[in-house]
Structure 1
Amino acid sequence: MSQHRFYCPDKLAADVTVSLPETAAAHAARVLRMQVGDTAILFNGDGFHYNCQFTAVQKNSVTAKVTSSVAITNESPLDILLLQGISSGDRMDYTIQKAVELGVGAIQPIATERSVVKLNQERAEKRVAHWQQIVISACEQSGRAYVPEVYSPLSLNQWLAQHPQQTTCRILLNPLGAKQLAKLPKPASQIQLLIGAEGGLSANEIETAVAHGFQSILLGPRVLRTETAALAAIASMHTLWGDF
């Protein structure tokens, strides 16, 4: 049976005693009913697993002493930045969760022309905090020891203005695309994957993205939902170029 893993943002090292974050502590104490003396794995995003033993367990408070550490080497060989059109309901949560499990390096939410969800600054900050917690939970589940960052939402034009065309592999999914993913050579740099929200990217957004170096790619003859498109593309990239 694999050990339970918990995210702890503190600096971790052998013989250090730390307090688990409130959410992790409540899960360990109330849901898993772990006790003093139980062992677990902590990670803080630095690429290591830290073996620990619980020294105190209360309803909302858990402390643990780190006993040893080990470097983790399960990160994807592909550096994928997911530029995901902000979708509604649970779609965005699901996309982020599964993309992290599949190994993406970072996530940039994009407010597209067809995004149903419109976020002001306050709501955007709350959503980013929520999405970052989903990332952490996905890392706990999947065994990743690095934590991808969810950036603040931007429009496509804002993001492009901040990231002029570079020597990166830029891909957007388009049901009317002229190229197939399998026809592309293995990228030697970061992959920037652009996915539209419900209804896809507008013709203007596609034109703008292509003008900034994005290749319009067809992923099969069927039209995919936004959450399906992102995950299918990432899985296909791993099959073609990564560690699947």
Structure 2
Amino acid sequence: MQRYFAKQGSEDGRFTISGDDARHIAKVMRMEKGDRIFCVSPDGRTALCEIENITGENVEAAVVKWEEGSSELPILITIASGLPKGDKLEYIIQKGTELGAFAFVPFIASRSVVKWDEKKAAKKTERLMKIAKEAAEQSHRSHVPDVASPTGLKELAEMAKSYSHKLVAYEEEAKRGEKSALAEVLGNMSSGQTLFTVFGPEGGLSEQEVSFLKEQGFRECSLGPRILRTETAPLYLLSAASYQTELMR
């Protein structure tokens, strides 16, 4: 069943879906009065709804029942990725959303080959947010991850100050055989706590960048004995978090 994120909460037991989502319901799905959809309110509550009216710009749906439970990860994980080449960032955001990431922060690492100017950044960020929304709908989530505009390392560290835990994935730690930091952090996290994780671009993070992050309270960690690609590493961590906080508890 289709799921749509409403821009406003339900009023009198009804949701109004507008814009692209309304056109998708009417033109793509060709739904009619009486068909049912899921609507998600801005506060993350999900309701089974029945379509009552379809106009050119809006779809009105009445709440049949509110859903119990949540499909969200019990911990809130932000993924900070050094800008990679090609469409790898789109892949990270699509799959990372499916795996439960709370937010994404692209950042300009010293080894990032890709450089976004201000005009491109706004357009690309808008596209990335659309990818996150569609992935959240597909995976039946109740939260659409935020996608920040590309930032620098210092700004990234400032954003992470309020987080409960902070990790930086560093391949040199894998080479040295480190294998306890990630498991220890995930094992000690309780529901509602936050984790900010930093991953380098294709060339990895420089020693200077890792040193700076350590000074800002980040802890180095490896992601197992194998060296992972920049688009694989965040997905490994999110999968490990799901296993530790959802399947093991």
Do the structures match in fold with TM over 0.5?
yes
| Residue pair 2:9, 2:42 contacting (<8 A) in 1 also | no
Residue equivalent to 1:82: 79
Distance (whole Å) between structure 2 residues aligned to residue 134 and residue 6 of structure 1 = 14
| Residue pair 2:82, 2:112 contacting (<8 A) in 1 also | yes
Query: What is the identity, as a one-letter code, of the residue corresponding to 1:234?
Result: L
Give the unaligned 5+ runs of structure 2.
none
Task: Tell me the percent identity.
Answer: 28
Deviations 1:209-232 (A, max 9, x none): 122222221212222111101101
Q: Offset at 1:15?
A: 3.7
Whether 1:242 and 2:242 are equivalent positions in the alignment is no
Whether 1:63 and 2:63 are equivalent positions in the alignment is no
Distance (whole Å) between structure 2 residues aligned to residue 21 and residue 86 of structure 1 = 33
| Residue pair 1:47, 1:72 contacting (<8 A) in 2 also | no
Query: What is the identity, as a one-letter code, of the residue corresponding to 2:108?
Result: A
Corresponding residue SS for 1:95 = helix
Whether 1:203 and 2:217 are equivalent positions in the alignment is no
Residue equivalent to 2:231: 227
Query: What is the identity, as a one-letter code, of the residue corresponding to 2:245?
Result: G
Q: Structure 1 163/145 Cα, relative in aligned 2: closer, same or farther at 3 Å?
A: closer
Corresponding residue SS for 1:176 = helix
Residue equivalent to 1:184: 184
Q: Structure 1 147/182 Cα, relative in aligned 2: closer, same or farther at 3 Å?
A: closer
Distance (whole Å) between structure 1 residues aligned to residue 141 and residue 241 of structure 2 = 19
Corresponding residue SS for 1:112 = coil
Q: Structure 1 191/161 Cα, relative in aligned 2: closer, same or farther at 3 Å?
A: closer
| Residue pair 1:45, 1:147 contacting (<8 A) in 2 also | no
Q: Offset at 1:53?
A: 2.3
Corresponding residue SS for 1:201 = coil
Give the unaligned 5+ runs of structure 1.
none
Whether 1:10 and 2:36 are equivalent positions in the alignment is no
Query: What is the identity, as a one-letter code, of the residue corresponding to 2:171?
Result: P
Q: Structure 1 33/167 Cα, relative in aligned 2: closer, same or farther at 3 Å?
A: closer
Whether 1:173 and 2:169 are equivalent positions in the alignment is yes
Aligned residue pairs: how many? 238
Using structure 1 for the length normalisation, give the TM-score.
Answer: 0.86
Whether 1:144 and 2:141 are equivalent positions in the alignment is yes
Whether 1:116 and 2:113 are equivalent positions in the alignment is yes
Distance (whole Å) between structure 2 residues aligned to residue 44 and residue 111 of structure 1 = 34
Residue equivalent to 2:92: 95
